[in-house]
Structure 1
Amino acid sequence: MTANKVAVFRKEHFNAAHRLFNPAWQDEQNSKVFGKCSNPNFHGHNYELVVKVVGVPDPVTGFVIDLKFLSDLVQEHVLNRFDHKNLNVEVAEFATMNPTAENIAIVIYNTLRPHIDQQHDLQVRLYETERNFVEYPA
């Protein structure tokens, strides 16, 4: 018999600015591909982050993961680094990577993954707007 897996979620919020552009392109091409998002003066989003951890509840605690631990982890490793920041300028990974929602989700996942027991599955869902969001891994 397979053990019962349960998904638990932690939802957080952060605000950040970014600019989508390819430095190898002229402004015209950046504008054509990225539209208003390539504004040289940046633009911001109110991001909603949902971190999903899947596993079998511990027989002693009943937890898949202690949600206080998960909250603290997200605060320390994500919110402290991303909230009210210019992602292009203040987050090292985006010095050489375009800070699209897709890439932000991958960076968040890679930041959190080493801190969560490998027996648990991890997924990051990032809402850039109410209607646009990404999940990693898919």
Structure 2
Amino acid sequence: MSPRSARLARLSRSVTFSACHRLHSKSLSDEENLKLFGKCNNPNGHGHNYKVVVTVRGEIDPVSGMVMNLTDLKEYMQAAIVEPLDHKNLDKDVPYFSEVVSTTENVAVFIWDNLQKLLPQGVLHKVEVQETEQNVVVYKGEETIVK
């Protein structure tokens, strides 16, 4: 039997959490916020049942046959996503969002940053956050777009 070259694969796992937020930028007037965010600027906020799909990538281990142990990934996601976000008011209960508008884009960045602290370096491939069935954000860690 000839030696096989390493095989790369991507592994995805999903988790859900419920949270409320208000889309509101401190940099804008109340009128500008209402115009930009509409009903999502409701002073009392509104809620979502978010679905997050985390994808990791790596070589398939020849012994275990896995890119990553799913039990480990589940624990990382629990610590990075569910514990800080589930059943929270994002704007009031999560310090990160005290200065950052709690859009789905920024929720994805928050989750990415949290996962990066826990996962082995270079393993995280993408974070997909589904705020609704119609609104989905995919973040892959890019910081800026070069023009």
TM-score exceeds 0.5: yes
Alpha-carbon distance, 1:2 to partner: 6.2
- The percent identity for this pair of structures is 41
- Whole-angstrom CA distance in 1 between matches of 2:34 and 2:5: 52
How is 1:40-51 mapped onto 2 (pairs within 5 angstroms)? 40-51=43-54
Gaps of 5+ in 1: none
Number of aligned pairs? 138
Contact 1:77-1:111 at 8 Å conserved across structures: yes
Contact 2:116-2:124 at 8 Å conserved across structures: no
Quick one: which amino acid aligns to residue 98 of structure 1?
V
Calculate the TM-score normalised by the size of structure 2.
0.88
Contact 2:76-2:119 at 8 Å conserved across structures: no
Quick one: which amino acid aligns to residue 128 of structure 2?
R
- Note the alpha carbon deviations across 1:46-71, whole angstroms, 9 max, x for none: 10000000111112211101111111
How is 1:49-64 mapped onto 2 (pairs within 5 angstroms)? 49-64=52-67
- 1:18: which partner in 2? 21
- 2:101: which partner in 1? 98
Determine if the alignment matches structure 1 residue 108 to structure 2 residue 111.
yes
Contact 1:113-1:122 at 8 Å conserved across structures: no
Alpha-carbon distance, 1:119 to partner: 3.9
RMSD across aligned positions (CA): 1.5
Rg bigger for which structure?
2
2:74 is aligned, of 61, 71, 80, to 71
- Note the alpha carbon deviations across 1:66-117, whole angstroms, 9 max, x for none: 1111111111221011001000000110011001000000010000012212
**Structure 1 residues 2 and 101, CA gap change in structure 2 (3 angstroms):** farther
Calculate the TM-score normalised by the size of structure 1.
0.94
- Note the alpha carbon deviations across 1:13-32, whole angstroms, 9 max, x for none: 00000011112322211010
- 1:8: which partner in 2? 11
Gaps of 5+ in 2: 143-147
How is 1:74-85 mapped onto 2 (pairs within 5 angstroms)? 74-85=77-88
SS state at 1:30 partner: helix
- Whole-angstrom CA distance in 2 between matches of 1:12 and 1:92: 22
Query: Which sits farther off after the overlay, 93-102 or 23-32?
Result: 23-32
